[in-house]
Amino acid sequence: MTTILVTGGNGQLASCIKDVEKQYDDLNVIYTDYLELDICDLNQVQTFFKTNNQINYCINCAAYTAVDKAEIEVDKAFEINATGAKNLALACNEFGVVLIHISTDFVFDGNKQKPYTETDKAHPVSVYGETKMKGEIEIASVLQKHFLIRTSWLYSEHGNNFMKTMLRLAKEKDSLNIVSDQIGTPTYAGDLAEFIFYIIKAKSQDFGTYHYSNFGEISWYDFANEIFKESKIDIKLTPIATKDYPTFASRPMYSVLDKSKILKKFNIEIPYWQDSLKKGLLRFNLIS
């Protein structure tokens, strides 16, 4: 039986992994949150791996993802996203475990006007992006057997995300101003979870960095508009520029990810964002 450790076990992606895991009865999945496994403590990580010495894969969903707050809590963001990632990589290397690490489009500056490939130079414009880039570097420096998956605009029926925020705000307001000049791709976390299990079930040895997001490129305004259209919610939306919606952290203005490499290496189909949004909304309505 394959044993999988999932860190950040109460987060959005881990929750989707729990849903997808139900399809498989030959996997033993261990979910931990920071109270059960503090990835920032190397001794604790090593002890956990030693105690649970049958682990085959570690899916690192643990991350500091509060983009604006990271500009203030710089040390904490680096500790979780960089030091924590390194600690897991060190333990995986010591105990022969394959690491599947989740990273982000925020490692790019957004100045490119065509989709980013895995070989494009990382140049983050925020502390969050910088900490995630540092985590990537730390992993690659100590562990060969790793899959580093960059994704973008993650949402689902679980956790805190743009889709759920829009649906909540629609109950409180008659109109919303939504940024229309940041371009990227929404990614349904359930789709990403499916791909992660594909890697594991295929026992892939094609280690390295990959980009995974749904297909298509849109603005946050477009995304919000489709959420309300599919949900049959009548609300006034006004497109605004990033400069009119100031935030602590800068965002990449264009962060579409090129998926050519992942399609070439793996025999998978990646859904378009509109199709996955319908799926996410359906599942949200089932559990809400």
Query: Which position among 128, 188, 221, 254 bears the catalytic label?
Result: 128
SS3 assignment, position 6: strand
Beta-carbon contacts of 243 under 8 Å, excluding residues fewer than 6 positions away, are: none
Instruction: Round to whole Å and give the CA distance between 172 and 264.
Output: 45
3-state SS track over 136-158: HHHHHHHCCCEEEEEECCEECCC
Token reading at 266: 């793996």
> Is 24 annotated in the active site?
no
Token reading at 100: 């599947």
Q: With CA atoms as reference, report the closest residue to 197 among 181, 180, 215, 212.
A: 212
Instruction: Round to whole Å and give the CA distance between 17 and 32.
Output: 13
Q: How many Cα atoms are found within 13 Å in the side-chain-facing hemisphere of 190? A: 19
Instruction: Round to whole Å and give the CA distance between 217 and 275.
Output: 14
Beta-carbon contacts of 181 under 8 Å, excluding residues fewer than 6 positions away, are: 219, 241, 242, 253
205 DSSP assignment: -
Instruction: Round to whole Å and give the CA distance between 286 and 244.
Output: 36
What residues are annotated to the active site?
128
